[in-house]
Amino acid sequence: MVKLAHDNDPRHSTAQKRAPMTHPPDENELRDLLNKAKQPAADAMRGHAYYQGKMATLPKCPVRGMEDFSIWYSPGVAAPCQAIADTPAKVYDLTNIGNTIAVISDGSRVLGLGDIGPQASLPVMEGKCLLFKYLGGVDAVPLVLDAHDPQDFIETVLRLQPGFGGINLEDIAQPKCFEILDRLREAARIPVWHDDQQGTATVTLAGLMNALKIVGKAKHAIRLALIGAGAAGVACARLLFAWGVDPAKTIVVDAGGILGKHRTDIGVFSPAWSLCQTTNPEGITGGIPEAMAGADVVIAFATPGPGVILPEWVASMAPDPVVFACANPIPEIWPWEAKAAGAAVVATGRSDFPNQVNNALCFPAIFRGALDVRARTITDEMCFAAAAALADWGTADLDADHILPPMTEMAIYPIQAAAVGIQAQTQGIAQVLMSYEQLIDRAEAMIGAAQAATDVLMNEGCIPPFPED
Widest pairwise Cα distance in the chain: 75
What pLDDT is attached to residue 404?
95
In the chain the domains, ranked by start, together with CATH numbers, are 79-190 (3.40.50.10380), 196-469 (3.40.50.720)
What pLDDT is attached to residue 36?
72
Count other Cβ atoms within 10 Å, centred on residue 307: 12
What pLDDT is attached to residue 31?
75
What pLDDT is attached to residue 111?
80
pTM here is 0.92
Q: Identify any residues that bridge with 406 across adjacent strands, giving them in sequence order.
A: none
Count other Cβ atoms within 10 Å, centred on residue 31: 11
Question: CA dist 440 to 29, 145, 166, Å?
Answer: 43, 35, 20
Beta strands 250-254 and 257-258: pairing type?
A: antiparallel
Question: CA dist 224 to 208, 240, 301, 341, 387, Å?
Answer: 11, 10, 14, 18, 19
Quickly list H helices, 279-377: 288-292, 311-315, 335-340, 363-372
End-to-end CA distance of the chain: 38
DSSP assignment letter at 402: B
Question: CA dist 184 to 192, 237, 450, Å?
Answer: 7, 21, 29
Quickly list H helices, 104-248: 122-136, 150-160, 176-187, 200-215, 231-243
CA distance 193 to 170: 9
What pLDDT is attached to residue 25?
73
CA distance 445 to 437: 12
Active site residue 36: no
Active-site position among 128, 133, 217, 339: 128
Question: CA dist 312 to 224, 304, 338, 342, Å?
Answer: 17, 18, 9, 10
DSSP assignment letter at 116: -
What pLDDT is attached to residue 21?
54
129 in Cβ contact with 146 (< 8 Å) = no
Tell me the torsion sign for CA atoms 256, 259, 265, 271.
Answer: positive
Active-site position among 3, 38, 73, 436: 73
pLDDT one digit per residue (tens) for the chain, 469 residues: 455 655 544 433 434 444 555 567 777 777 777 777 677 888 999 999 999 999 999 999 999 999 999 999 999 999 999 999 999 999 999 999 999 999 999 999 998 788 999 999 999 999 999 999 999 999 999 999 999 899 999 999 999 999 999 999 999 998 999 999 999 999 999 999 999 999 999 999 999 999 999 999 999 999 999 999 999 999 999 999 999 999 999 999 999 999 999 999 998 888 899 999 999 999 999 999 999 999 999 999 999 989 999 999 999 999 999 999 999 888 999 999 999 999 999 999 988 889 999 999 999 999 999 999 999 999 999 999 999 999 999 787 899 999 999 999 999 999 999 999 999 999 999 999 999 999 999 999 999 999 999 999 999 999 999 998 6
Count other Cβ atoms within 10 Å, centred on residue 362: 30
CA distance 328 to 78: 51
| Amino acid identity, position 188 | A
CA distance 37 to 58: 34
Active site residue 261: no
